[in-house]
Amino acid sequence: MPQPKKTIPPAAPEKKPEPNKTLELVRRLTQTVGPSGYEHHAALAAQAELAKHADEVRIDKVGSAVALKRGCQKGPLRKKILLAAHVDEIGLLVTRIEPGGFLRFTEIGGFDTRVLLGQEVWVHPVSRHGVATELKYPGIIGAKPPHFQSREESDSVIPLEDLYIDVGMDAGTARQRITVGDIATIRAPMVLLKNDRAAGKAMDDRACVAVMVQALEHLRKVNHSWDVYAVATVQEEEGWGCLGALTSTYNVRPDIGIAIDGTHADMPVAAEHETFALGKGPTIAMGPNLHPAVVERLKQTARDQEIPWQLEPVAGVTGTDAMDIQVALEGVPAGLVSPPMRYMHTPVETIAAADIDRAGRLLARFIQDLDDIKLEWQD
Ligand SMILES: [Zn+2]
């Protein structure tokens, strides 16, 4: 008798993993264009996300996106806290169009020039209002191939002056469509890694704009008395100062200002004492740039709420918005909270969603408990 054929049950359809909400927010914020001085689109994206949880939003005179979430305090003398995360990214500026149609460029902010070679870029013509237009041209960054390099050249990093953007156009067409002063950004879609980690451009510091969005979202569900100004600040990467942090401190006149900016995460070739574990919580910085009462309260809040955190001692300037906040006006008590990021200032800056979530929760709870904070210096 013939054996009945065994039927194999059809395989269950593979379940698509739910996209991580935090990383989707980070993706929306990081994929917009916004090198320092040309942040308009990035600031609008930040404004749209902050607006979901704020009472008021606006773009200020220098281009920062300012969101206000009012506290429940009464009266005209209102206590205010400023949160600042910079919205600008590092980018490239076209300085010359060569006879062959190749574009020479310089950096806006400090790129790791070793990683520029072979990158795909978008070249964005800039409007007469100084805004990157919707129009963009694909290009790649080329340089002399190893075959033509002297021994000395192949042993050293190719200097920025020897790199160029190839947009595939002849000089005539390139000069018609692109002008000196237009900008370029690295074309790097966000890559999802395992364990809710992600890599991409502009994580520094738009992942921290996401922290502010989350902090406001938490605060919507609770009572808090202080007014909260969350500002996506412009022009932090310039190197000469943190323009958006400075101007918004004057504008808001806060009682406390907290910068949120990435710190270096652990990676194989970096010294352990200079980096912080990715995925083990944001760092709370301490040192001369930060007010001890703010630092202490942040630490206490993290402990009380059982939020994983790491202590980051910074002996000198922090190189963040906290520098300008601290010395603006008659001086503002400053704090700094930093999610660790790997490969800073490359197109694959890497974050862990958990650190972004924890930083958002930490700031929300810190703000909720501000009523009894004492900022006077004491023994
Ligand atoms: Zn930064």
| Contacts of 289 by beta carbon, 8 Å cutoff, 6+ apart | 314, 316, 317, 318, 322, 323, 326, 334, 336
Residue 3 has pLDDT above 70, yes or no: no
Residue 139 has pLDDT above 70, yes or no: yes
Residue 4: predicted pLDDT: 66
CB of 62 closer than 8 Å to CB of 86: no
- Taking the centre of ligand 1 as the mean of its atom positions, its distance from the CA of residue 145, in whole angstroms, is 33
- Taking the centre of ligand 1 as the mean of its atom positions, its distance from the CA of residue 148, in whole angstroms, is 37
Averaged pLDDT, 250-269: 96
49, 89, 236, 349: the active-site residue: 236
| Contacts of 166 by beta carbon, 8 Å cutoff, 6+ apart | 101, 102, 103, 139, 140, 141, 142
CB of 70 closer than 8 Å to CB of 225: no
For 8-46, the pLDDT digits (tens) are: 777 777 776 677 999 999 999 999 999 999 999 999 999
Q: Is 236 a catalytic residue?
A: yes
pTM, two decimals, is 0.92
151 confidence band (pLDDT: 50, 70, 90): confident
Mean model confidence pLDDT for the chain:
92
Residue 86: predicted pLDDT: 96
- Taking the centre of ligand 1 as the mean of its atom positions, its distance from the CA of residue 190, in whole angstroms, is 18
Domains along the chain with CATH numbers: 21-89+201-372 (3.40.630.10), 91-186 (2.40.30.40)
- Taking the centre of ligand 1 as the mean of its atom positions, its distance from the CA of residue 315, in whole angstroms, is 18
The DSSP string of 317-370 is --SSHHHHHHTSTT---EEEEE-EEBSTTSTTEEEEHHHHHHHHHHHHHHHHTG
The DSSP string of 217-228 is HHHTTS---SEE
